Chains A and B, each alone.
Chain A
Amino acid sequence: MTEKNDILKDLFSRMPEEELPASFRANVMRQIMAEAERRRKLGERWGWIAVITASLLMIGLAAASFLYMGLPKISVQIPDMSMLPFYAHIGILALILLGADYKFRQIFKRRQTSQKEKM
């Protein structure tokens, strides 16, 4: 097979390349983008699975260590309830005042915009 005067080399070099269909690029890129999206979602899903597994493992380890090491005694103290009506009164009053402030602001804004429109 000599490089010089190779008739096949000469003929093949003059053989035209076939034209691609116009939609080829768009079709392939659409498939590629869909595949990339599918991979992203799959990666995200695996991420969630890893987080959930790690969380469950940590909760399990914590529960196991509590069981084997013995639970510390937790005591919850109930506060004195005699002042509850007073605090409830103050809380309701604050809410009423906040609601009134909100309404007044709305009325004020509405009046300002209607005055501007008239001008």
Chain B
Amino acid sequence: MELYTDTYYIQRIQAGDTACFACLLDKYSRPVHSLILKVVRNREDAEELAQDVFMKVFKNLSSFKGECSFSTWIYRIAYNTAISETRKKKHEFLAIEESVINNVSEQDVVEALGRTDDSDRIQMLDAALAQLPPDERAIILLFYMKEKTIDEVATITGLTSSNIKVKLHRIRKKLFVVLKGMEEQ
């Protein structure tokens, strides 16, 4: 059970009690760092970017009006910071043909993954995630790992809810194709 709400800490920080920021840091540093690390896939960069995110949060705390939850607001900063960083570096990502994406079903993947053990499945998922473009990786992570709703993911990414639904459907299919391919090898 939380002792105080995020709003309480924000009000204290805005009143000049800077040390209260440590409470927000304790609550959000790990999930934010984890999301950034999975998007940029580099430990040093992720640590630096996570520090940047918290500096931005502190500097722009007065602009947080409570229109969305504090966690959604902080993830939006983290998403934008991580995506901007990945745009600076050119990467090549897997291109899958439309016909292949449409032909794979979740059932095939469930059957294929059923033959592997738990830790191998997690490793395979991590490897499959690495093959996705950073923005798609961030969307699927926000939805599944951070358990954000479609509307919240839309707020974080700045896309519409219907766009997120379509994107999530396609990213899932892409992951299924990659996972199935890994299983068959």
Contact = CB atoms under 8 A, between A and B. Distances in A.
B58 A35 contact: yes
Please report whether the interface of chain B is mostly helix, strand, loop or mixed according to DSSP: helix
Given A7-B106, A7-B109, A25-B29, A32 B34 contact: no
Contacts, number: 77
Interface residues of B, number: 37
A31 B125 CA distance: 36
A102 B180 CA distance: 98
Contacts of A18: 30, 33-34, 37-38, 46
Contact of B51 (A13, A16, A19, A28): A28
B21 A12 contact: no
Contacts of A36: 18, 58
Interface of A: 1, 5, 7-9, 11-21, 24-25, 27-29, 31-33, 35-36
Interface of B: 18, 21-22, 25-26, 29-31, 33-34, 37-38, 46-47, 50-51, 54-55, 58-59, 106, 109-110, 113, 118, 121-122, 125-126, 140-141, 144-145, 168-169, 172, 175
